[in-house]
Structure 1
Amino acid sequence: MSITVKDVAKKAGVATSTVSRVINDHPSISEETKKKVRKVMEELGYTPNLAARNLGKQIASAIGVILPPLDSKERLGNPFYLETIETINEEARQSNMSVAVASARDFETLLENVKRMHRQKQVDGFILTYSDKFDPIILYLIEEKIPFTLIGQPYTQEEKVMYVDNDNQLLGKQATEYLIEKGHTKILFATNTTHENLYFERFFGYQKALMMANLPHFPAVAFESAEDYTNFADILEQTQASALVVIDDLFAVRIIQLAQLLGYQVPDDLSVISFNNSIFTTLTHPYLTSMDIDVASLGKIATQQLMAQLQEGSAKTSLRVVVPHELIPRETVLNKKAGVK
């Protein structure tokens, strides 16, 4: 038999309306009464029905996590998003909030999903897990004054966005500097996206490190079509590159496989460094040298900042939180100066 509000009210010796107010933490109820009712709820094993509780308050007790368009195998398999959802879910649970995920294969469908979630009051606010220059969703959230936080750096209207991010330009710079320190002078930057903000920031950092070291820098090697993969052998031969900075771990694994198919050994012929320090870094040999971006902190802080907005009852003006990173050396970078890994 399920326990009801009436059961709690009867045992506590109060009206059912009083129990409802205690559940909603209403200020009109004294702390003494709240403690008494909550003790009875615990004794009876009563769990408030959040949906019913929130019906009158017009809140959902849920947050929406917006993933980028899952339009490729790399996107679908990228552990960054799963790790982020897990962290957000754990942090939300601490506040008795649930998590709903918005995903689609293109921006148009994704925007419709987000609009529907908001209009039907399925969620109280959103966490955007990417920053893309073609993204229409961030403008919708700003225009509608919907509480949200962004994991990443916004392209425009920074003064209207609360966001948490790594210093991606510094990440790109330090990854490249590590290769330079190991004696590499011809270094390429490889990516499978050219419209996300983290690409621009990391590529700028790559360029900055090489310019500061008076070394040549090259156009980004973008893999966005089958032809790009075919041209990779020619690019390596023309540039005589001995090292690659790759946009993330999952794509780095694919690049290493491609290089090996072309007859290059990693790290003996070609060194590789990437970003995220995900599970892919130690799934195959050689283990991948990577920059740890602390995904857990990104998700946790983004959730905490959204919760703060929801408690205040309005969208927040700009705030930037920078999460530190760390280089994790493994086996994919050859020390050319010493001739060892």
Structure 2
Amino acid sequence: MTITVKDVARKANVATSTVSRVINDHPSISQATKKKVQKVMDELGYVPNISARNLGKRTTSAVGIILPPLNSKERLANPFFLEIIEAINGEARKHNLTTALAIAKGIDTLFENVKAMHTEKQVGGFIITYSVIDDPIIDYLRQQNIPFVLIGQPYDALSNTVYVDNDNQLLGQEATDYLIKNGHQNILFITNTTTENIFYERYFGYQKAMMMAQLDAHQSLTLNVPDDYVKLEEKIQSAHATAIIALDDIFALRIIQLVELYGYKVPDDISIISFNNSIFSTLTHPYLTTLDIETEKLGQKAMYKLSSLIKGDNTDGMRFVIPHKLIERETVIAKKHTSK
């Protein structure tokens, strides 16, 4: 049986127009009436038709989630984005909002998708799930005064951009400090991207920790394609490395495969620490030691802030930092120092 507005009005003993105004949060309806009608809707299990409501109001109650260009298998498989989408969807429902995805393999196509979603009034604002330098999408959203929230730290206009992030520099520093505490002195930082802000922030944290411990910080090593992989063995040997910091969990699993291919054991010969605490961190042994960035909270806070921007509420700040925590597992052990 389908529950209708008339059913709600009959049980709440109000006019159907009153129920419609409650659904649309009309200011003419008192808070007491809103609570009474909402209670009846909950009891009957009535769910407002958001599309019909939007048509009547000539507005949209959808928000766009912009994923980065999905130009590699690793990025396509990265659980971070699925977890972010799920968290945003859950929070959106609390605000009677729906979500739409903007995805593409390249930045140009992604840009066109975002423009179409805006010009066709499909969405009232956007959440950007990545931060890269010279992003045309952010430039467009700013020029058009379109509400958006960034997950990650922007490269510019920090004081004018609402963003939700971890303290990625502190993440890099704490990962490095943890390795140093376990006796490692020759530590490498390895990445598969140099365009995203999380790389710079985490790498800066690594450099800071190494300098504060009066240890030599190595130049970061970038492994993008299979042709780069041979560089890892050369770097381990030249640096006499005993530990590696990998940019995220999926990339860390690739690093483990490579070092074992070169004859090293993890963690006996090489300790590895990464970030995100994704589902991949416990799929295979050894389980990854990683820093949990609380992905669900990132998505929830971003959606909460975007809903406020769309309503025109004054924001209570521009930057929102989500805490993190170290998850100790099996890929880091104490370095055994042998006497000569």
Could you state the TM-score of these two structures normalised by the residue count of structure 2? 0.91
Partner of 1:285 in structure 2? Answer: 285
What is the SS of the residue equivalent to 1:214? coil
The residue type equivalent to 1:177 in the other structure is: D
Q: CA deviation at 1:19?
A: 4.4
Deviates more, 1:5-14 or 1:45-54: 5-14
Q: Choose 329-338 or 177-186, whichever is displaced more.
A: 329-338
Number of positions where the alignment pairs a residue of Structure 1 with one of Structure 2: 338
What's the CA shift string for 1:56-75, capped at 9, x where partnerless?
32322111111111111111
State whether residues 159 and 318 of structure 1, in contact with CA within 8 Å, keep that contact through their aligned partners in structure 2: no
**Per the alignment, do residues 288 and 56 of structure 1 end up closer, same or farther by CA in structure 2, a change over 3 Å counting?**
same
Distance 1:197 1:252 in 2: 18
Which residue in the other structure is 1:84 paired with?
84
Task: Within 5 Å, give how 1:137-286 maps onto structure 2.
Answer: 137-286=137-286
Which residue in the other structure is 2:326 paired with?
Answer: 327
Describe the SS at the equivalent of 1:208.
helix
Partner deviation per Cα, 1:199-242 (whole Å, 9 max, x = no partner) = 00001111111111111111111012332112222221111111
Amino acid aligned to 2:252? A
The verdict on how the C-alpha distance between 1:20 and 1:176 changes in structure 2, with shifts beyond 3 A counting, is: same
Q: Does 1:100 align with 2:100?
A: yes
Alignment partner of 1:244: what SS? Answer: strand
Secondary structure of 2:272's counterpart equals strand
Which residue is 1:75 aligned to? Answer: 75
Q: In the aligned structure 1, how far is the partner of 2:163 from the partner of 2:217?
A: 30
The whole-number CA distance in structure 2 between the counterparts of 1:11 and 1:185 is 71
Q: Which amino acid aligns with 2:333?
A: L
Partner of 1:25: 25
- Which segment drifts farther, 154-163 or 221-230? 221-230
CA drift at 1:49? 2.3
Alpha-carbon displacement from aligned partner over 1:40-64 (angstroms, at most 9, x marks no partner): 7678765432212112323221111
The separation in 2 between residues aligned to 1:115 and 1:302, in whole angstroms, is: 21
Matched position secondary structure for 1:56: helix
In 2, Cα distance between the equivalents of 1:289 and 1:47? 43
Q: What is the alpha-carbon distance in structure 2 between the residues aligned to residue 43 and residue 300 of structure 1? A: 26
What is the CA–CA distance in structure 1 between the aligned matches of 2:295 and 2:128, rounded to whole Å? 14
Q: CA RMSD in A?
A: 2.4
State the Cα distance separating 1:108 from its structure 2 match: 0.6
Q: CA deviation at 1:4?
A: 5.4
Matched residues in 2 for 1:86 and 1:229: separation? 34
1:127 paired with 2:127, answer yes
Q: Which moved more, 1:243-252 or 1:37-46?
A: 37-46
Residue 326 of structure 1 and its aligned partner are, at CA, apart by 0.9
Q: Which residue pairs with 2:312 in the alignment?
A: 312
Shift of 1:143: 1.1
Q: Residue 108 of structure 2: SS of its match in structure 1? A: helix
**Counterpart of 1:272 in 2: which secondary structure?**
strand
Letter in 1 for 2:51: A
Structure 1 unaligned regions, length at least 5: none
Deviation string 1:284-317 (CA, Å, 9 cap, x unpaired) is: 1111110111111111111111111122268x69
1:324 CA drift (Å): 1.1
User: Offset at 1:280?
Assistant: 1.2
* Distance in structure 2 (CA, Å) of the matches to 1:28 and 1:3: 25
Identity of counterpart residues, as a percentage?
59
